[in-house]
C-alpha cells in the first residue's frame, strides 16, 4: 500500500533575532499508510507541532520533501496545495480552533463549504449528502443534541469532539492531530482519544498524532519520539504496553 504521507529528510529552521538560526526539525523522514496510526511524543517546544504543520502543508520546510497521496507539495501552487489539504487531510488542533459564532453543525460542515462540495464519501464508499454526513458524525461524537448551539457555548471536551467530527467529514486519507487532549481533563481526554482512534480506524484514515502524553502515544501502531530535532523509536512505559 502506498503511503498517504511521506516526509523525506525534512529540515525546518527558524531565523532568530540575533541573526542565527534555530533548527527545529533535522532531517526527519517518515511514512504513514492508510489505516496506520503513528504517534510522535516529545517535550514542549521539541518540534511536534511544526512536524504536523509541515505534514499538513500549512508550513513550508526549509529543506526536504513532503508528499501527500504521492504528490510533492513543493511543486504545487497555493490554491493547489490548499485544495489537496482540504480533500486529503483532516486536522485536529490542541486549541480546537472552532469559529465561535458559527453553530456546532456549521463548524463541522466548514470543510465541505470551503471545498464547495455537496457530497462526501460514505462508509460503503458511496457518496452521501454532506449535511447527512455531518449529522451522522455529530451523532458519532455524541453532540447531536447540541448541533444548533453556537460553538462558543461548548465545553472544552465538546469543542474537541466537534473538531474531530469536522476533521473527518470529507473522509480524509490522513488525520493529523496536534495535542488533541492537551487542553482536556483526564476523563475528557480519554473519551476524545477513544473517539479519535475509533473513528480513524473505522474510516481507514492514517493517523499522525503529536502528544506529550505517553499513554496516549502508546496507543499508536508506531511510536516515535522527537528529540533535538530528530525522530527516534520511542520506549514505552509498561502500563502503556498493557493497554
Partner 1 sequence: MIRLLLRAAPARFRAAPALGLLPVLAIALGAGAVLSVQLLNRAALETLDASLDVLSAGADLVVTGLVEEAGSVPDEAWPVVLATRGVRRAAPVIRLAGLRVGTLDKEASVPGWGVDMVSGSFDFAGSEGGEGTFAPEAFFSGGIVLPERVADRLGVGPLDPVWIGPGGAGPADRRPTLVAGTVPGEDGRASAFLDLAHAQALRGRPGLDRIEVSAAEGSDVEAIRRALSARIPGVRIEQSGTLRAEGAELFSAFRLNLLALSAVSLLVAAFLVYASVRAALAARRQEIGLYRALGASGRRVGALLLGEVFLMALAGAALGIPVGALAAGASLDRVSATISNLYLLERIEGLTIAPQVVLLAGLVAVAAALAGAAPQVFQEASRAPVTLLTPGRASLSPARRRFWRLWPPAAGTALIGTAVWAALDPASWPAIVGSGFGAAGALLIGAALLPDAAIRLAAGFRAGQNSAVGRGILAALREPGSTGPPAAALVVAVAMLVGVSSLIGSFRATLDDWLGETLAADIYVSRAGGAGGARSIASERRALSAEVLAATAADPDVRDRDLLRALRIRLDGRPVAVLGVDAVLPAAGDRFSILGDPEAALAGLGKGELLVSEPLARRLGLEAGAALSLPAATTDRPLRVAGVYRDYGNEQGALFLDRTLMNALYPPEPGTPAPVHGAALYLREGADRGAAVTRLERALGLSANVVDNAALRSRALDVFDQTMAVTGLLRVFALVIAALGVGLFLWTLVRERAAEVALHRALGANRRQVAGGFLGRTLVIIGISLLIGGGAGAVLTLLLVQVVNPAWFGWTLTLHWPLGVLAAQGAAVVLAGLLAAVLPVRLASRLDATALRQEI
Interface positions with partner 1 (CB under 8 A) = 15, 17, 49, 53, 56, 58-60, 78-79, 81-87, 91, 93, 97, 99-102, 106, 109-111, 113-116, 150, 166
State which residue, 167 or 224, has the beta carbon closest to partner 1: 167
- Cβ proximity to partner 1: between 11 and 115 the closer is 115
User: Hey, what's the torsion of the CAs at 231, 233, 238, 243, to 10 degrees?
Assistant: 90
C-alpha to C-alpha distances, 81 to 55, 77, 133, 233, nearest whole angstrom = 12, 6, 25, 30
Instruction: Work out how close the CB of 12 gets to partner 1 at its nearest, in angstroms, rounded to a whole number.
Output: 11
For residue 67, give the nearest of 87, 83, 81 by alpha carbon: 81
Query: For 17, how many CA atoms within 13 A lie in the half-sphere containing its CB?
Result: 0
Q: For cell 504543520, name the residue.
A: 53
DSSP 58: S
Phi, psi of 208 (to 5 degrees): -115, 120
Local structure of 162: helix, strand or coil: helix
Question: Smallest distance, Å, CB 19 to partner 1?
Answer: 8
- Residue 130 CB, shortest distance to partner 1, in Å, is 12
CB of 27 to partner 1, least distance (A): 21
Cα-based distances in Å from 86 to 70, 100, 120, 129, 179: 16, 21, 12, 17, 20
From the CB of 236, what's the least distance to partner 1, in Å? 30
Q: For partner 1, which is the closer residue by CB, 129 or 194?
A: 129
Nearer to partner 1, 111 or 206 (CB): 111
Is the Cβ of residue 146 or residue 166 nearer to partner 1 in the bound state? 166
Amino acid at each position: 500500500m502506498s503511503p498517504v504521507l511521506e516526509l523525506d529528510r525534512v529540515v525546518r529552521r527558524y531565523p532568530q533575532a540575533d541573526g542565527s538560526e534555530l533548527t527545529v526539525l533535522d532531517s526527519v523522514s517518515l511514512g504513514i499508510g492508510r489505516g496506520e496510526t503513528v504517534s510522535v511524543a516529545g517535550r514542549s517546544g521539541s518540534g511536534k507541532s511544526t512536524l504536523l504543520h509541515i505534514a499538513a502543508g500549512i508550513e513550508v520546510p526549509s529543506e526536504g520533501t513532503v508528499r501527500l497521496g504521492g504528490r510533492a507539495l513543493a511543486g504545487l501552487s497555493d490554491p493547489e496545495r490548499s485544495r489537496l489539504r482540504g480533500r486529503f487531510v483532516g486536522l485536529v488542533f490542541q486549541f480546537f480552533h472552532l469559529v465561535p459564532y458559527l453553530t456546532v453543525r456549521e463548524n463541522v460542515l466548514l470543510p465541505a463549504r470551503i471545498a464547495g462540495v455537496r457530497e462526501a464519501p460514505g462508509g460503503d464508499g458511496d457518496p452521501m449528502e454532506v449535511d447527512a454526513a455531518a449529522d451522522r458524525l455529530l451523532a458519532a461524537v455524541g453532540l447531536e443534541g447540541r448541533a444548533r448551539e453556537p460553538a462558543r457555548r461548548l465545553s472544552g471536551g465538546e469543542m474537541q469532539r466537534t473538531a474531530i467530527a469536522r476533521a473527518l467529514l470529507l473522509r480524509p486519507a490522513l488525520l493529523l492531530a496536534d495535542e488533541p487532549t492537551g487542553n482536556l481533563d483526564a476523563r475528557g481526554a480519554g473519551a476524545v482519544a477513544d473517539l479519535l482512534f475509533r473513528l480513524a480506524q473505522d474510516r481507514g484514515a492514517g493517523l499522525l498524532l503529536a502528544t506529550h502524553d505517553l499513554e496516549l502515544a502508546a496507543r499508536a501502531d508506531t511510536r516515535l519520539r522527537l528529540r533535538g530535532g530528530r525522530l527516534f523509536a520511542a520506549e514505552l512505559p509498561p502500563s502503556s504496553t498493557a493497554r
